[in-house]
Structure 1
Amino acid sequence: MSILYVNRTVRIKTTQNIISEKSPVEGLPLRQWQVNVLILGPNGDESPAYIFEKCIYRLHPTFRNPIRTKIEAPFALEEKGWGEFTFSISCFFLRGAGEVEFLHELTFQDEVYYLDFNIKVPCHVPELRRVLELTGPVPEAVAPADLTYKTDMEKWIQKLLASDEELATNVVNKIMHHPAVAREVERKPLDECFVVDLRQLPESLLWDIGDYILNEPPVK
């Protein structure tokens, strides 16, 4: 039940220029800037990063509404300002297949510049495989996903129920340290109890948990 991954390069591209509006800070002109999330093809050609279903920008807290969610590739963010700063962009793969986070530095030295990031993209999800094929080769799927996934899930749940405390603790840690889960937990008050349904977890995380449990030695 191992997850297949394929390598891709994501490009965070920025364009910026000085505008005529008066800057609130003397000596620092006001600039219009835009950031796009792109993916590179085998020949280095750029295209919108359709592997993601949404991207969340976390700007400097001095911005009005500093957390911005974009749901349409290339997830363009347009803003204006006078200062340089570094911010994070969380990008979520299609069909809940996981997420990646990029740190992007906004600078004003060049009118157009970019940062490239090499990432591993899970390709066991049919919809994600289809868009990955637009930007390069994708490994063959090992097995029909639905039937194998459901059958194996029943197997590892039964093994987990019969497991010792160490295996259960390791599974809980895998869940709690997943970026998407950790972010949701951070939003909860410290004194609030909550229950997580397995069906709420990202599919890539479920595959990872199942692969880990089924490859653990049986409980003696």
Structure 2
Amino acid sequence: MGNEINIPTIDVNIRVKAQQVIKDDQSSCTGELPVRRWKVELCMLNEKDEEVVLDIVSACIFYLHPTFKEPVRKFRQPPFMLEEEGWGEFDMDIVCHFIENVGKFTIKHLLSFEHNAIGIDYAIKVPCHTPLIREYLSKNFELPDATFDKEQEKTISQAQLKSWINLIPKLDEDSVTEIVQLILRHPAVQAEVNKRERHDDFVMGLYQLPNELLQTIGDYILHGNEQDDL
């Protein structure tokens, strides 16, 4: 496995759909721009370019122009749809968080009144290494295998991993901190962290850690418990 941790991803298109209409109940004054009702909604495109529910996202935050009374709007379930009214076009950031806390992505979208209705597609990469997000993605996409280290499968069983994990709550705070540092100091983990933006969130499964790192963690957990028993 070397000094790399491969988090499998797939390419997905997110569609931002916008609709707008000029309000009827307003006076027409020379030199004033008409006020419009508008809405913006997000969906996902499957492999056939069909619109499907954006169920791989747990929350979307819309950052509007600061002149709005509430310029930050958060939605926690699909459909991620924002409805508002105003006269001006502006750029908005839409920050979307994946389910299972595997990361987030940002769409920079221009709210334009050039068309009454329009859909604009944005290409993103979606991590597909955790169970729930794989389950949701598999309904609409062919997924790459969640690769395992074959040598790791031979030497460290799921039962061993589970037994080590069950011992962690029995360790003191310093020991738990040391385990975290063992993981963060490993070159493979550092290399993966360095690929990310500073404030990006992502999740690694235990099975993705190098075999020798898992063995070191297991030895430390067992050694710590042996010391406690002396």
Residue matched to 1:85: 90
Choose 1 or 2 for highest CA Rg: 2
1:134 is aligned, of 129, 139, 157, to: 139
AA of the residue aligned to 1:13: K
The C-alpha deviation readout for 1:116-173, integer Å capped at 9, x for no partner, is 11111000111111111122211122249xx59988xx98843656x7xxx7xx67x8
Change (3 A) 1:5 1:101: same
1:187 is aligned to none
TM-score by length of 2: 0.67
CA distance in 2, matches of 1:176, 1:139: 21
Structure 1 residue aligned with 2:168: none
Q: Which amino acid in structure 2 is aligned with residue 87 of structure 1? A: M
Change in 2 beyond 3 A, CA 1:8/1:19: same
- Please report the TM-score for the alignment, with normalisation by the length of structure 1: 0.70
The correspondence of residues 64-83 of structure 1 with structure 2, limited to 5 A, is 64-83=69-88
The residue type paired with residue 51 of structure 1 is I
Cα distance in 1 between the residues matched to 2:83 and 2:115:
17
Change (3 A) 1:23 1:79: farther
Identity value in percent: 31
Work out the CA distance in 1 between the residues paired with 2:73 and 2:28: 23
> 1:102 matched to which residue of 2?
107
Q: Deviation string for 1:84-126 (max 9, x for gaps)? A: 0111000001110000000010111111112211111000111
Q: Could you tell me which residue of structure 2 aligns to residue 192 of structure 1? A: none
Q: Indicate conservation of the 8 Å contact 1:42/1:136, yes or no.
A: yes
How many residue pairs get matched?
184
- Where in structure 1 are there 5+ consecutive unaligned residues? 181-200, 215-220
**1:20 alignment counterpart:** 24
In the other structure, the counterpart of 2:182 is: 158
CA RMSD of aligned residues (A): 3.8
Structure 1 position 27, deviation (Å): 3.0
- 1:123 partner amino acid: C
**Secondary structure of 2:139's match?**
helix
Distance 1:84 1:45 in 2: 28
1:123 equivalenced with 2:128 (yes/no): yes
**1:178 and 2:198 aligned:** yes
Shift of 1:42: 1.6
Quote the offset at 1:23 in angstroms. Answer: 7.0
Following the alignment from structure 1 to structure 2, what is the Cα–Cα distance between the partners of residues 18 and 33?
Answer: 9
Q: 1:195 corresponds to which residue?
A: none
Cα shift at 1:20: 1.5
How far is the alpha carbon of 1:41 from its aligned partner? 1.3
1:129 match: secondary structure: helix
> 1: CA distance between counterparts of 2:27 and 2:50?
36
1:60–1:10 CA distance, 2 compared to 1 (3 A): same
One-letter identity of the residue aligned with 1:203? V
Q: Given the alignment of the two structures, is residue 6 of structure 1 paired with residue 10 of structure 2, yes or no?
A: yes
